[in-house]
């Protein structure tokens, strides 16, 4: 009987002591207000630092890791990305010498109107055209689902008068509307836009023609580009 009571008392004591220890630990938490810290080793960009901590409240002492600091990258070599080629930037840490490379993909053209703002390349939709060229100049052959169009652009040097003629061979029958936009690449300028309409007949050739005015007098030393769009009415 006596032995059993003793066992119960011991068990109860153990529970109380355990709870007391748990409570004490929980109450302190080594709060920042009670802390004293001393840096033992400053962190660098390659190694963590260390600090000694102590708690005024409970007297505990321990060490803590200080996280690494960031690399201090400064740019070393760089090639700038262009419309068609990628760029590389190599950054080197001034503290540890570690290098980091950053690749930029090609920017792609940024068209503003008819030309790329960066490299001045012309919109892909334009084809070089020779004024007063023979009508079978292959560079002046356009084609779409409605038919094939041989384009002839006529102008006289020094004059602003221009005529665009389309020899259209229809793949379809019906009314079409067409627009020819002419650009002067040497001056990087818009010259004129001519729009017309006409009827196409399947398997036969039609002449669609329009006269207009260039912004600047035609000069053989300039390069001219034309964008032709033909759509069914
Ligand atoms: Zn404490
Ligand atoms: Zn570093
Ligand atoms: Zn470009």
Instruction: Specify if 3 maps to a domain.
Output: no
DSSP per-residue letters across 160-219: -EEEEEEEEEESS-EEEEEEEEEEETTTTEEEEEEEEEEEE-TTSEEEEEEEEE-SS---
Indicate whether 63 and 85 sit together in one domain: no
Q: Tell me the average confidence (pLDDT) per consecutive run of 10 residues in the chain, 233 residues long.
A: 52 44 52 85 96 89 94 88 94 93 93 89 88 73 90 91 93 94 87 94 93 94 92 92
How much is the pLDDT for 168? 93
Indicate whether 52 and 138 sit together in one domain: no
Q: Contact 209/163 with Cβ under 8 angstroms?
A: yes
Ligand 3 geometric centre to CA of 215 (Å): 25
Give the closest ligand to the alpha carbon of residue 36. 1
How much is the pLDDT for 9? 52
Query: Which residues make up the environment of ion ligand 2, defined by Cβ < 5 Å?
Result: 45, 71, 93, 95-96, 98
Q: What is the DSSP letter of 41?
A: E
Distance CA 69, CA 121 (A): 46
Distance CA 122, CA 112 (A): 10
Indicate whether 175 and 217 sit together in one domain: yes
CA distances from 206 to 8, 35, 87 (A): 115, 94, 51
Indicate whether 218 and 152 sit together in one domain: yes
| Of 213, 136, 193, residue with least CA distance to 167 | 136
pTM, to two decimals: 0.59
Indicate whether 211 and 131 sit together in one domain: yes
Indicate whether 191 and 174 sit together in one domain: yes
Q: Rg of the chain over CA atoms, in angstroms?
A: 41
Ligand 3 geometric centre to CA of 82 (Å): 7
Q: Give the residue numbers spanning the domain of 164.
A: 122-232
Indicate whether 133 and 203 sit together in one domain: yes
Query: Which residues make up the environment of ion ligand 1, defined by Cβ < 5 Å?
Result: 28, 30, 55, 57-58, 60
Ligand 1 geometric centre to CA of 20 (Å): 15
How many independent structural domains does the chain possess? 3
């Amino acid at each position: 009987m006596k032995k059993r009571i003793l066992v119960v008392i011991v068990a109860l004591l153990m529970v109380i002591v355990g709870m007391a220890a748990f409570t004490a630990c929980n109450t302190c938490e080594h709060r920042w207000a009670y802390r004293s810290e001393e840096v033992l080793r400053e962190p660098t960009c390659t190694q963590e630092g260390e600090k000694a901590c102590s708690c005024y409240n409970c007297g505990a002492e321990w060490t803590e890791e200080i996280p690494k600091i960031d690399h201090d990258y400064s740019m070393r070599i760089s090639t700038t990305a262009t419309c068609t080629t990628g760029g590389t930037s190599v950054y080197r840490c001034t503290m540890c010498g570690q290098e980091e490379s950053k690749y930029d993909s090609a920017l792609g053209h940024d068209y503003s109107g008819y030309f790329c703002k960066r490299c001045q390349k012309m919109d892909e939709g334009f084809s070089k055209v020779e004024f007063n060229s023979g009508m079978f100049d292959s560079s002046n052959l356009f084609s779409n689902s409605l038919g094939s169009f041989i384009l002839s652009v006529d102008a006289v040097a020094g004059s602003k008068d221009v005529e665009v003629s389309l020899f259209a061979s229809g793949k379809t029958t019906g009314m079409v509307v067409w627009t020819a936009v002419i650009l002067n690449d040497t001056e990087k300028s818009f010259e004129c836009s001519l729009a017309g309409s006409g009827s196409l007949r399947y398997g036969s050739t039609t002449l669609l023609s329009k006269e207009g005015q260039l912004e600047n007098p035609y000069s053989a030393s300039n390069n001219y580009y034309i964008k032709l769009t033909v759509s069914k009415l």
